[in-house]
Amino acid sequence: MRGQVPIDKWRDTQRSPAERAEALIPLMTLEEKIAQLVGVWVGADASGGGVAPHQADMTGVEWSDVIAHGLGQLTRPFGTAPVDPVAGARSLAASQAQIMAASRFGIPAQVHEECLTGFAAWRATVYPAPLSWGASFDPELVEEVAGRIGRSMRAAGIHQGLAPVLDVTRDYRWGRTEETIGEDPYLVGTVGAAYVRGLEGAGIVATLKHFAGYSASRGGRNLAPAHMGRRELADVILPPFEMALRLGGPRSVMHSYAEIDGLPAAADEALLTGLLRDGWGFAGTVVADYFGIRFLQKLHGVAADAAQAAGLALRAGVDVELPTVDTFGAPLIEAVKAGQVDEALIDRALRRVLTQKAELGLLDEDWRPLPGEPEDVRLDDEESRELALRLARESVVLLRNTGDVLPLAPGRRVALVGPVADDPMAMLGCYAFPAHVGPHPELGLGLDIPSLREALGTLVPDLTYEPGCGITGDDTSGIAAAVAAAEQSDVCVLAVGDRAGLFGRGTSGEGCDATDLRLPGVQSELVRAVLATGTPVVLVLLAGRPYALGPEFDAAAAVVFGFFPGQRGGQALAEVLTGAVNPSGRLPVSVPRDAGGLPATYLSPPLGRRTEVSSVDTTPAFPFGHGLSYTTFAWEPLDAGAADWPVDGEVTVGVTVRNTGPRSGAEVVQLYLHDPVAQTTRPVVRLVGYARVTLEAGQAARVSFTVPADAASFTGVRGRRIVEPGDVELRFGRSSGQAEVVVPLRLTGAEREVGHDRHLLATAHITREGE
C-alpha cells in the first residue's frame, strides 16, 4: 500500500518536468531511486490478464519483488511472443496497474519496443528495412512512415521506440548492414533525422543507436573491436547522430556495444558525457544496449564484477539498464551503500529519467495506460499497408537493363526461379516481428505477406516456377529443373538473396555475419547455370547486404535490387518488373564487383580506389547512388554564379533536369563535393546534398542547392573541424561514380574552425516548368 507522500510539487502539471523531477528525488529511498533506472523484460500475457506467465524465467525474480519499489521500464511486452494486439493492450494496462499499486509513489513504467521496420509486434504492419529508406532518397516519406508507426505504438501504450539505427555501413559483411540506412553519413543523417521527427511527432521517444562505432567492427563481425582513427570517427561515424539530434529532436540515445581503441562505449565518459551532453547539448536519457553494462565485465574485461560495471556505466553517462534488472539491481545498491559508487551519480541519472517520465505524463495523477480502449488497438490496416507499399515502390533499384528486357512485355513466356522467389520471409528484415521472434507455425505470420511469386503471378499469366536450390545448404539437385524452366521461357526472372534472422538463424541480421560477399549456399551455381542457357535473365536480389556481382553476373540482361522491402515488397517488385511502376530507387550502398578486397565503400581517398600499386581493384560493379529508370533524363548546368565561395558563406549551384523519355518518372539529383588538395586525405567525392524530382514526360525543372561552406568542413591535422580555403568542385551526379555537371569553385578567406553549431544541410530548391 502507498504511504502518505507530499505530492503537491512533483504531481503539479503547472511546473516544468525538470522541476517536478527535482521535487521528487529527495523523497525517494536508494532502492526507489535505483528501481527507476532499470527495465524488466516480462512480455505480455496472451490472455490479457497481466504479465506473462513465465516472467520469472526472464527476470530471475518474482514480479511482486521486482516492482516493490517501483519500476523504470517495461521491456517489449508486445515484441517477445505472439500476442493479439487487443489482449496485449489489456495485459499491459493490467501490468501498469500492478506497478502503480505496489510502490509508494504509484509511478507507471515507461514502455519501450523495437520499431525498426514498424512496431515489432504480432500482426503489426511490416515496413521496408532501413536500407530501403536510404534507397528511396525520400526523407519526407520516411518521416510519414515513422509517424504512422509511432501512432500505432502510442495506441498500444508504448512510450519509447528503439530506432533509428544511425550506424554508417563500413563493411558489408557485417550482419547488421540491413539495419543501416547506407554507407554515406549525409544520407544516413538526413533520412535518420526524418525518422526521428516522425516518431517524436507521434509522441514516441526516439532512441538513436548505436552510439557509436558499432558498424566499424574489425572483419565485419558482430561485437568485434572497432579500430579506427579519430578522423573516421569524427567525419564518418558521428555526423548522423549529430544531425539527428539537431534536426530531429530525439529524447534518448542507446550506447553501442563497440569498443574503440580499447575503450567500450558503455564506459566512455568522453563520448557519453563530454561529447553527447557537454558538446552537443543532449538532455535526454542514455539507455544501455541490451546487457551492454554486464558486457563490460563478461566480454570487454574492463570491470571485475557487476558492481564495478554498473559504476563505470553510471560515471560514463548511462542512465537506464536494459533489457532487465541486473547490474543496476542488488550489485549497485550494495556498491552505493559501501561507498564504492557515489549516490550523486544515481541522482543524476534519476533526474533525467523522471524528467522524461514527466514529459510523457507518467507523473500525472490522472495518467491512463492507453489513449483509448484496448478494443481500438489495430496495428495493421489498409492505410498502413498502402504507406508501406509506397516506400517499397520508391526503394526498388534497377541496376541494369540491357536490351530493354524490362519492363516484361505482355505475352512473353516468363519463368520465375530462385530460392527467395516464393518465400514471404525474403521481404522482411531481422527486426520484423516474424523474423525477430522466430517461427510460430501454429499461428502463422500474422500478416498477409505476398511472395514475389504470388505478386508476379497476378500480373503475368502462366508464370512457371522452380526454386532451383535453397537459400543455404549445398543441395544442387533442383538446379536442373530451374535450367529447364529457363530454357523453355522467353525471359527468366531469377530471384536470389537472403533470409533475415538472429544469431545464425539467417544469412543476414544481428549475429549473421559473412566471411565474404558471395551469395549464400549454392545460389551462385544456380545463377551461373541459368545464365548459361542464353535465355534473357532478370536477376532480382532480395537481400540485407550488397552481394558481389562480378564478371560471372555480367550476362544478366537486367539486375534489380530490393533491400528487404517489407510486407508489400513482393507487389512493389512485381509492379516494377512489369512496368506498372517506374523504378526510382538509388543504391544506398555500393555493390562490389569482387567478393574480397574488403572493407571498402565509396568514401575512399585516392589510395582507396584502383591504383597501379596494388593488384586488388576495389571499383564497384555499381556505385553508391546508382539507379536506372524506364524513362530518360537530360541535365544541363545553370549559371553557377560567382566562382568564389567564402569559407564563412554559402554558394548556390544548379542544373536543369528534363524528362526526355516516354513516361513520368523520378530522378534523384545528387550533389557531391570533391576536394583535390587538403591538409589530410579526403574522400574523392562525398555527398553534400540531394533532391528527388518527379517529372512528367517532357517536363523540366530547375534544381538548385544553396550549400553552406560548412559542408566542406573536415577534421584537420590538429584534430579540429575546419573549413580550409582552396580549390574544390561541386559535382552534380547520377551517382557517386557518374558526374554530369562539374562546378569549379574556390573557397576564399582564412582557415576557419567550426563547431557543433555549424550549418548541416544544403537546401534544395525545385522549380518545375509551369509552376
Torsion sign (Cα): 8, 12, 15, 17:
positive
Q: What three-state secondary structure class fits 674?
A: strand
**Quick one: average pLDDT of 48-72?**
71
Whole-number Å distance between alpha carbons of 345 and 311: 9
Sorted by sequence, the CB contacts under 8 Å of residue 665 that are 6+ apart come out as 582, 584, 629, 630, 631, 633, 659, 694, 695
Closest to 707 in 3D by CA, of 750, 756, 674, 740: 674
Whole-number Å distance between alpha carbons of 427 and 419: 13
C-alpha cell at 273: 558525457
Whole-number Å distance between alpha carbons of 67 and 98: 8
Whole-number Å distance between alpha carbons of 22 and 9: 9
Cα dist. 571→452, 497, 528, 565 in Å? Answer: 7, 17, 27, 10
**Quick one: average pLDDT of 403-412?**
93
Indicate whether 658 pLDDT > 90.
yes
Whole-number Å distance between alpha carbons of 82 and 438: 10
Whole-number Å distance between alpha carbons of 649 and 323: 47
CB burial of residue 135 (10 Å; 0-12, 13-18, 19+): buried
CB 119 within 8 A of CB 158: yes
Indicate whether 52 pLDDT > 50.
no
pLDDT for the residue numbered 444: 83
Scanning 36-114, the segments in alpha helix (DSSP H) are: 55-59, 63-66, 85-102
3-state helix, strand, coil split of the chain in percent (to 5) is 30, 20, 50
Indicate whether 696 pLDDT > 80.
yes
Indicate whether 166 pLDDT > 90.
yes
pLDDT for the residue numbered 58: 46
The pLDDT tens digits of the residues spanning 375-402 come to 888 999 999 999 999 999 999 999 999 9
CB burial of residue 330 (10 Å; 0-12, 13-18, 19+): middle
DSSP assignment of 267-333 equals: G-HIIIIIIIIIIT---SEEEPPTTHHHHHHHTS---SSHHHHHHHHHHHT--BB-SSSSTTTHHHH
**Quick one: average pLDDT of 523-536?**
98
C-alpha cell at 12: 503539479
Report which DSSP code applies to 87: H
CB atoms within 10 A of CB 759: 15
The model's confidence at residue 1, banded by pLDDT at 50, 70 and 90, is very low
pLDDT for the residue numbered 140: 98
CB 507 within 8 A of CB 529: no
What is the torsion angle, in degrees rounded to the nearest 10, for the CA atoms of residue 186, residue 188, residue 189 and residue 190? 80
DSSP assignment of 365-390 equals: TT--SSSS-GGG-----HHHHHHHHH
Indicate whether 656 pLDDT > 50.
yes
Cα angle for residues 257, 259, 262 (degrees, 5° grid) = 155
What is the CA 103 to chain-centroid distance, rounded? Answer: 37
- The reported pTM is 0.96
The model's confidence at residue 2, banded by pLDDT at 50, 70 and 90, is very low
Strands 721-723 and 650-659 turn out to be unpaired
Torsion sign (Cα): 763, 702, 740, 398:
positive
Whole-number Å distance between alpha carbons of 168 and 228: 13
CB atoms within 10 A of CB 699: 15
> In which order are the strands placed within the sheet that holds 714-715?
714-715, 721-723, 752-753
pLDDT for the residue numbered 4: 53
Least confident interval from 266-270, 359-363, 365-369:
365-369
CB 271 within 8 A of CB 241: no
Q: What percent of the chain has pLDDT over 90?
A: 88
The model's confidence at residue 682, banded by pLDDT at 50, 70 and 90, is very high
Indicate whether 217 pLDDT > 60.
yes
pLDDT for the residue numbered 60: 63
Closest to 256 in 3D by CA, of 338, 317, 171, 205: 317
Indicate whether 657 pLDDT > 70.
yes
Q: What three-state secondary structure class fits 729?
A: strand
In the predicted model, what is the mean pLDDT of the chain?
Answer: 94
Residue 17's H or E segment, with its range, is helix 17-24
The model's confidence at residue 372, banded by pLDDT at 50, 70 and 90, is confident
The pLDDT tens digits of the residues spanning 545-597 come to 999 999 999 999 999 999 999 999 999 999 999 999 999 999 999 999 998 86
Sorted by sequence, the CB contacts under 8 Å of residue 626 that are 6+ apart come out as 397, 399, 586, 587, 734, 735, 736, 737, 738
pLDDT for the residue numbered 50: 57
Indicate whether 149 pLDDT > 70.
yes
pLDDT for the residue numbered 403: 87
Strands 263-264 and 259-260 turn out to be antiparallel
C-alpha cell at 454: 504470388
